[in-house]
Structure 1
């Protein structure tokens, strides 16, 4: 008896520990292509008309459904402007002409390629006047644009899928030979009828779940595209991984319901596939590392389906019949239905918790987001409900049931009533858990994205004096430390190199971060600023740290102090040579400092043609000839559009127009490295740029370029100069 109690005590303590850990478990939340930054900065006042307006978002955009409009805030009329995408997550508006003095607002609507969710917002800026409303306005309510309907349908989908999956998966584990045989309850007379009715409910739930998946896909298509016509379905459902995941959910659920009567194991496998497609269509598909996030979310869903779905199957099959059973039959149900299910329910619950902890680390970033954000509070509510379900399971399964099963007669009526009441509470609590999960699925911005953006800086832009051209005898270089620009101005002193390092966010805001320079004496000179001295060697090695993260950066620190004129001459000569090329190929790597990078391959043909292959979440192809453009996403069809401006191959090279602050970094036998530093203008209409050009000494061609700009950290490699070939329209 003592050993039995000891084992029960150890099990109880272990379960309580698991429940405690579950307080960090996130749900299946869906991320969105949320607003990240813009140039001009939201709320800024410009003294000159910007040549373009750049909007940056947190995820890859669905090009066919994402749009932005520039509006004159005084008249409310749209300003004529062309729109074009840069990379996967940036949208650029180019006004047709110079903007007159006025306040302007940019209204945008995005659809993420990764999870398929739509988001809307706006921001303002002013040209020689104050901005309208100042800062960016980001829609964060999950109930906007008929959000209640989306939450209700997704909740219905989750409830039915979990119930359907509980019947299939638990049956495959406990009674693979007989449909719902695990619910018969041994020798109980009503067991056969209970199992037969349970199987009918399971199959019906599968068909309704498939119908709910269709409804969810159509409602989300309408929200993202504004309609549910053939064009909208093609753009939203058939052209992106997130849309295909929704289609796969429908197909897997319908197929599972269709074959469940004859091939239950096949139906169970299809159900697991439906849960995988739900994970791929959610926020896990936009997390990093994506493979780990999707796998963890999928295991979380499968385990929750076994645990919660199995409980729901038991309660609906037996709780309405309990009053009509005698004591022996009730104990038989406990012994032959609840006890075998408990042997798989506890491991399933452990997987739910373990996978949830992984999701928490990936999605939230820090524990206090659970109580410091709306998303976190909703998540904490879900976690609390999960904890109540776990506590109820612990009490009736590990505290009450062993005593009731071992009793020879109906000697514990109060304990038995408590046992069945606790069991009956669990499906209702499970519906609450699923309802909160459905609410989280339409919350626009996970708190970690907001946290990372807030950590990048405050609302006070760095003063113009912080960005300047290098003085005579001084080197100005930059690269990225995580999402921030790490820019240094340095000169030679008696005991080594001395200078200043400054950090800038994509909106040129100084973040709260500590800067260390390896092997140097450093002092703080303000927010995101450090002075250093006594640096030796050819590199400046930086360590940038916040309370939660650390980033490293390496900057060149050796240059020819008397070679400024030669560096300027080499940069100009190389630029002339590159602009005279007939053809060239380019390999590009573009990053925002965090998240997924974009790799691209270009073929340029003078005077006005290029073809590109861009790889991010999926492969996109572009062909541009003059003002005509053809675009192809993934394996879809080519789509034609007319550009607002005619493409000029001579303007492709990013450093054209920024030949300032040239410094000679090094001479080598076959090449020479030149640094350029353009501090930009006094406002956001002319952002700063830093370049390092690697020039072939024999041909004066640039063979490699590294660019640092707000939110853009790019390297390009140039090859196949003047190679034969013609770029033609796609067929």
Structure 2
């Protein structure tokens, strides 16, 4: 029941920092936007702690192959929105289909150009076949036009519209853009030379094919050079085989394909076509191995379905090619029609941003094993704190008297890149340990512990300090305390919370009132007020403004900050006096982000104070007025200011005092 301090989007491969972007829309309609923070991360800071549904939309531009990927998801604070899972661009939209059509035109025209160059060369052998010409200039012109349409569409998609600056950034921001510009340059040069009657344009067409491969999926594989070479050979050999068939369909002789001259051309073309077909099939198989995670992808993924359809279409050509090879009944125009279907399927495959193999690789991507050890494992003693604007998690393993390994997780608001630049020191009772880094956000050291030691984590040149007072070792299991407090707190009918939220030079203070089953009011130190009753939200920015009513998802009361995820590694860090207050600490990972809690629990199981430490979200809460029988009513939506929602007899909130127990958060 607490909003994250920052929404972090991590990506499995490098992104274009300038063009990749994300935005978060809060429950009250505020839009928070951010560009790429690093080559693999976008972060959107969230200020405030509004209840309701947050929507996240993101767009990334790959820095390795230039493809654009989009996604969206929602999450709720105090509510349970439908469809919280992530949606990405695995399915092709209308713009992708339009680009695929333009790409099919470019592919087909380039293949035809290669085929025409081949057939012209074959016709030049003695005896010369003077009737063999074909529309080479037309093919190159159509290919260039298709290429311009594809590159323009990709550039506008990456830039988010017709933005000259964004388009220039996309085309000049790295290898993907350079490959696209070179492709257009080679296509234009080949067209100009063909129009001038220069016969040897083959090298330029092959260069355009290579640049086309460098702008596709092959560029994202590692190492990229062999993959691009395989893709380029696949396209060139397809040009000799499939493009040759397209050329034959375009230059049919006056006597038909059973005339002696036509049979001479077929005889010359057949051995080249057989070799080219074999090479196309071999390189196509290599591509399939690279792009499919398993043969089941042919049935279980859209990409695989399109690839399977392409294979079926190629298979349908084999009987026709056999007839042409035996020169029994050549049908080049029918073969050409099937080739156009194959080309369209290839263009559709190129429109997918992530083939199944790369998608599976992305989903399987995990942090390095040692870096992951900085986060708690089952059975660990883990405590949370803060130093400056960094959340600091301290995990003691095995958490028993004797030699222990101390694992420190330190993450500032500005992210991993900033964390990696900050020095980390670990002290036990003022004595420096020999600490070493185990990742951008991880440091570790060893020490002999007995319990009761003071541990300090110092960050950066300013030596921001997170201090921890260890409990007795081993710390008692806190599961029973957590179960007791959960029962007591979730039986409440109404209660209030006085909350301070940081990190900030001026922390946000909020006074909440909750009434079951679905009523909430809160007043911000900045002057804003909100009331939620059922499915209606009333809000205003200042006490003198009119109330604005709008629909919302109903909240569930009671609900608490620690209800966001499964509670892990609960430990009693101060047992206190029998029947008195005790302190329990535990860890959660809602939405995959680490969060530490420290709760002061009284003898009845009621939480009196709570501290929550997460990245960009340092929250201190004081709970009071349990079952005080107050009422939250709708405000008057009129020009006149309504009376305050909190009953006049309500006690004024006292300042939140720091938790006095061991393991307190400094």
TM-score grouping bracket, smaller chain normalisation: 0.5 to 0.7
Counterpart secondary structure, 1:284? helix
Counterpart secondary structure, 1:296? helix
Alignment correspondent of 2:274 = 346
Alignment correspondent of 1:333 = 262
- Shift in Å, 1:185: 8.3
2:27 is aligned with 1:78: no
Change (3 A) 1:158 1:82: closer
The whole-number CA distance in structure 2 between the counterparts of 1:61 and 1:557 is 30
The whole-number CA distance in structure 2 between the counterparts of 1:488 and 1:318 is 80
The whole-number CA distance in structure 2 between the counterparts of 1:151 and 1:370 is 20
2:243 is aligned with 1:309: yes
- Shift in Å, 1:78: 2.9
Q: What does 1:646-685 align with in structure 2 at a 5 Å threshold?
A: 680-681=587-588, 683-684=590-591
Alignment correspondent of 1:431 = 340
Among 441, 445, 451, the residue aligned to 2:354: 445
Alignment correspondent of 1:3 = none
Q: RMSD value over aligned CA atoms?
A: 4.0
Q: What does 1:407-426 align with in structure 2 at a 5 Å threshold?
A: 416=328, 419-421=329-331, 423-426=332-335
- Shift in Å, 1:153: 1.0
Among 44, 69, 72, the residue aligned to 1:119: 69
Counterpart secondary structure, 1:113? coil
- Shift in Å, 1:205: 1.1
Alignment correspondent of 2:106 = 157
Give the alignment's TM-score, normalised by structure 2.
0.56
2:290 is aligned with 1:362: yes
- Shift in Å, 1:57: 2.6
Among 53, 74, 79, the residue aligned to 1:129: 79
Counterpart secondary structure, 1:105? strand
2:268 is aligned with 1:268: no
Change (3 A) 1:293 1:110: same
Alignment correspondent of 2:305 = 377
Q: How many residues align?
A: 424
Counterpart secondary structure, 2:252? helix
Change (3 A) 1:243 1:454: closer
Alignment correspondent of 1:93 = 44
Q: What does 1:678-693 align with in structure 2 at a 5 Å threshold?
A: 680-681=587-588, 683-684=590-591, 686-687=593-594
Change (3 A) 1:427 1:455: same
Larger relative contact order (Cα-Cα within 8 Å, sequence gap ≥ 6): 1
Among 315, 336, 356, the residue aligned to 1:387: 315
Deviations 1:635-658 (A, max 9, x none): xxxxxxxxxxxxxxxxxxxxxxxx
- Shift in Å, 1:490: 5.4
As a proportion of its length, which structure holds more helix? 1
Counterpart secondary structure, 2:30? coil
Change (3 A) 1:320 1:126: farther
Change (3 A) 1:320 1:446: farther
Q: Is the 8 A contact 1:183 1:317 kept in 2?
A: no
The whole-number CA distance in structure 1 between the counterparts of 2:303 and 2:396 is 38
Q: What does 1:458-607 align with in structure 2 at a 5 Å threshold?
A: 467=377, 470-471=380-381, 561-562=448-449, 568=455, 572=458
- Shift in Å, 1:381: 0.6
Among 143, 160, 170, the residue aligned to 2:93: 143
Q: Which runs of 5+ in 1 are unaligned?
A: 1-46, 172-179, 402-415, 458-464, 473-486, 498-554, 581-660, 662-677, 690-708, 710-731
The whole-number CA distance in structure 2 between the counterparts of 1:228 and 1:576 is 45
Deviations 1:174-210 (A, max 9, x none): xxxxxx252368658xx31x22x32xx0122112211
2:45 is aligned with 1:105: no
Change (3 A) 1:236 1:395: same
Q: Is the 8 A contact 1:126 1:132 kept in 2?
A: no
Q: Which runs of 5+ in 2 are unaligned?
A: 367-374, 383-394, 405-441, 466-570, 572-584, 597-614, 616-666
